[in-house]
């Protein structure tokens, strides 16, 4: 998580200082480009912090289970607690998590039912910010007009090439890694399976009906309003779905 914050701080500080602000002052780009960059940066760090501190869906001790719903619960053989089906016991955190997808070291937290939507937003905005940074690095050398170097900061003037090479290298690494992770997460939602279920081959594809992708995404994000799927500054409310389509109780 510290590495991700370092990369975010590096790009948020140096990219505007080296590329955006100098080209804006000389009229090469508009203010909209700067605002879009900070907009992506804000949403990226917001989703990261919220995903790392949010409750992933930790089960309470001695839950009250209605008689009509007991068939959707099972006993955990590690902590001896009743839990909804499709829950998993995290060995690192030491408790069961509803619809747990995996334990992510990049956010130092489990990815479960209650914070999966924030993890998806983190992957999405990290890709957007990395791609935006790479485009700016490219345009700075091959598209924008040359800058008047005498107006630059001395440190930036001397180390401009090194700063942009570091930025481009980190952007390529993060974009490649996050793109693969984001793709597997999207496929998991489309097929209504978690990463743990894929590895353990317990998806129960035959016994569990396949849901429309709009339904699975709405359950993950807690709303049917698609515009809200992209906003990290809100509270998720679980959707009530029929039991034969239920991911949790």
104 is catalytic: yes
The active-site residue out of 96, 104, 110, 123 is 104
Q: What is the pLDDT of residues 144-189, one digit of tens each?
A: 777 776 555 555 666 777 888 888 898 899 999 999 999 999 999 9
Supply φ then ψ for residue 79, to 5 degrees: -110, 0
pLDDT of residue 206: 42
235: its two tokens: 């509270």
Reference 207, options 88, 102, 51, 71; nearest CA is 71
In a domain, 83, yes or no: no
CA distances to 77, 228, 236 from 233, rounded to whole Å, are 37, 9, 10
Domain total in the chain: 1
* Predicted pLDDT at 152: 57
Find tokens 């009509």 and name the residue: 68
pLDDT at 32: 94
Kindly indicate the confidence band of residue 122, based on its pLDDT and cuts at 50, 70 and 90: very high
SS3 218: helix
**61 lies in some domain:** no
Q: 242: pLDDT confidence band, cut at 50, 70 and 90?
A: very low
**Span 36-69, pLDDT tens digits:** 999 999 999 999 999 999 999 888 777 777 777 7
* pLDDT of 130 strictly over 60: yes
Does residue 40 belong to any structural domain of this protein?
yes
- 15 falls within a domain: yes
Name every residue whose Cβ is closer than 8 Å to that of residue 209 and which is 6 or more positions away in sequence.
244, 245
Residue 195 covered by a domain: yes
Task: Tell me the residue range of the domain where 39 lies.
Answer: 1-55+117-145+152-200+209-230
Percent of the chain clearing pLDDT 70 (strictly above): 88
> What's the predicted TM-score (pTM) here?
0.86
Q: Is residue 248, in this structure, part of any structural domain at all?
A: no
């Amino acid at each position: 998580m510290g590495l991700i914050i370092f990369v975010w701080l590096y790009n948020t500080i140096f990219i505007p200082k080296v590329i955006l602000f100098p080209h804006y002052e000389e009229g090469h780009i508009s203010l909209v480009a700067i605002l879009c960059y900070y907009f992506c940066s804000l949403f990226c760090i917001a989703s990261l912090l919220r995903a790392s501190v949010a409750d992933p869906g930790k089960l309470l001790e001695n839950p009250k289970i209605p008689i009509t719903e007991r068939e959707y619960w099972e006993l955990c053989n590690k902590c001896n607690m009743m839990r909804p089906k499709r829950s998993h016991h995290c060995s690192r955190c030491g408790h069961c998590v509803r619809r747990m997808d995996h334990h992510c070291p990049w956010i130092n937290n489990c990815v479960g039912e209650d914070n999966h939507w924030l993890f998806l937003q983190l992957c999405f905005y990290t890709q957007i910010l990395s791609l935006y940074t790479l485009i700016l690095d490219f345009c700075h050398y091959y598209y924008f007009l040359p800058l008047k170097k005498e107006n630059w900061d001395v440190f930036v003037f001397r180390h401009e090439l090194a700063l942009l090479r570091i930025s481009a290298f980190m952007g390529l690494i993060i974009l490649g890694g996050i793109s693969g992770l984001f793709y597997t997460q999207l496929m998991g939602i489309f097929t209504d399976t978690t990463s743990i279920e894929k590895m353990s081959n317990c998806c129960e594809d035959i016994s569990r009906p396949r849901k429309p992708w709009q339904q699975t995404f709405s359950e993950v994000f807690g709303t049917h309003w698609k515009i809200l799927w992209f906003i990290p500054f809100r509270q998720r409310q679980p959707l009530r779905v029929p039991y034969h389509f239920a991911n949790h109780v």
